[in-house]
């Protein structure tokens, strides 16, 4: 968990722990505190196969209660989108979420694609592969990445082949990013980590069906305001799919889409994390100001 020590600052909850370190510098500049709990199977959290998204939300509700945090903003990226939106549907956590849920970049499961849009072939293929095989493939891939980084003078930026040059440049603006991402890649290789990643990938692909499904549709059930930073060149979550979802979900203005020209699924987080945190911090301060105004009015 990453908790920036600024007691008077508003607080943002980032759904997914280790990568929060890469947000640290931007959050400090904005005087924004971050709490970033690990999902089961990530960081120091033990894998718990078969758990639902709703179960993790209950864990977060308990954590916020223990920390005595009544309101917070939410930032999720990729698979964290599922958990971020689920927080707005749980009766305990929904009143605690302030402002727009911010997604950087988003993830849209097949079941929540707008009508008439088919899931990408990669997701359809993933749903047919046994979890054990997926875990082996992930472990093999992670091993190759670690081997590349072991070479003399090799930086994390040198292996960011799925990102555009301007996204790699944004990554390099913070020298600490290389340290953070090396630690993250090392974390991926610990015993049990590939299986935990595979478990979540199958959930993302909708392969778990009724037993492990989200239990909600992004289109039919999400009523909270959402802000999405989406890459125009995202090959995993097509920008047209994002636009269609935004138009279908909840009504006009419910989903605000910020399109990142030339942005990819892996790279938008580096080019737009400061903008995402700034928007989230603005939401939190507005919410705090509104609460103070209501309290003052009631006292009069």
pTM attached to this predicted model: 0.85
**Beta-carbon contacts of residue 205 (< 8 Å; ≥ 6 apart):** 109, 110, 119, 123, 124, 126, 127
Listed residue (113, 137, 109, 133) closest to 123, CA to CA = 109
Domains within the chain, CATH numbers bracketed: 11-299 (3.40.50.1820)
Q: Given this model, what pLDDT does residue 199 score?
A: 75
Please report where in the chains the tokens 């091993």 appear, as a residue: 143
Contacts of 139-143 with CB under 8 Å at 24 or more apart are: 139/189, 139/194, 142/185, 142/188, 142/189, 142/193, 142/194, 143/189
Are 205 and 109 in contact, with CB atoms under 8 Å apart? yes
Listed residue (34, 29, 76, 31) closest to 269, CA to CA = 76
Higher pLDDT, 217 or 282: 282
pLDDT in tens, 68-109: 888 899 999 888 888 899 899 899 999 999 999 999 998 887
In this prediction, residue 261 has a pLDDT band, given cuts at 50, 70 and 90, of: very high
Q: What number of residues does the chain have?
A: 300
Q: Which two tokens stand for residue 248?
A: 């279908």
Are 227 and 279 in contact, with CB atoms under 8 Å apart? yes
pLDDT at 292 over 60: no
What does the alpha-carbon distance between residue 131 and residue 234 come to, in Å, rounded to a whole number? 25
Q: Given this model, what pLDDT does residue 22 score?
A: 85
Are 107 and 44 in contact, with CB atoms under 8 Å apart? no
Higher pLDDT, 262 or 136: 262
What does the alpha-carbon distance between residue 250 and residue 220 come to, in Å, rounded to a whole number? 7
> In terms of C-beta density within 10 A (0-12 exposed, 13-18 middle, 19 or more buried), how is residue 293 classed?
exposed
In this prediction, residue 211 has a pLDDT band, given cuts at 50, 70 and 90, of: very low
Mean pLDDT of 261-269: 96
Cα distances (Å, whole numbers) of residue 138 to 142, 143, 185:
6, 9, 12
pLDDT at 158 over 50: yes
What does the alpha-carbon distance between residue 63 and residue 109 come to, in Å, rounded to a whole number? 27
In this prediction, residue 4 has a pLDDT band, given cuts at 50, 70 and 90, of: very low
In this prediction, residue 267 has a pLDDT band, given cuts at 50, 70 and 90, of: very high
Q: Is the peptide bond before 274 cis (omega within 30 degrees of 0)?
A: no
């Amino acid at each position: 968990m990453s908790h920036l020590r600024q007691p008077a600052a508003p607080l943002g909850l980032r759904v997914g722990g280790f990568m929060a370190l890469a947000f640290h510098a931007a959050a400090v500049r904005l005087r924004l505190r971050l709490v970033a709990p690990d999902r089961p199977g990530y960081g120091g959290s033990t894998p718990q196969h078969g758990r639902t998204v709703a179960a993790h939300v209950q864990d977060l509700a308990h954590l916020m209660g223990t920390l005595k945090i009544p309101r917070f903003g939410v930032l999720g990226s990729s698979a964290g989108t599922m958990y971020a939106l689920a927080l707005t549907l749980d009766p305990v956590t929904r009143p605690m979420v302030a402002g727009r849920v911010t997604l950087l970049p988003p993830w849209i499961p097949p079941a929540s694609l707008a009508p008439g849009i088919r899931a990408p072939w990669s997701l359809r293929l993933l749903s047919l592969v046994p979890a054990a095989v997926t875990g082996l493939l992930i472990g093999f891939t992670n091993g190759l990445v670690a081997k590349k980084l072991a070479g003399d003078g090799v930086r994390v930026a040198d292996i960011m082949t799925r990102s555009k040059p301007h996204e790699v440049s944004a990554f390099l603006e913070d020298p600490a990013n290389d340290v953070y991402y090396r630690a993250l890649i090392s974390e991926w290789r610990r015993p049990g980590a590939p299986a935990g990643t595979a478990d979540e990938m199958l959930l993302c692909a909708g392969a778990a069906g009724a037993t492990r499904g989200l239990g909600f549709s992004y289109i039919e059930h999400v009523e909270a305001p959402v802000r999405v930073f989406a890459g125009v060149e995202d090959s995993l979550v097509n920008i047209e799919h994002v636009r269609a979802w935004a138009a279908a979900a909840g009504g006009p203005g419910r989903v605000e889409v910020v399109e990142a020209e030339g942005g990819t699924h892996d790279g938008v987080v580096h080019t737009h994390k400061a903008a995402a945190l700034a928007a989230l911090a603005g939401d939190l301060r507005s919410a705090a100001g509104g609460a103070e105004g209501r309290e003052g009015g009631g006292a009069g």
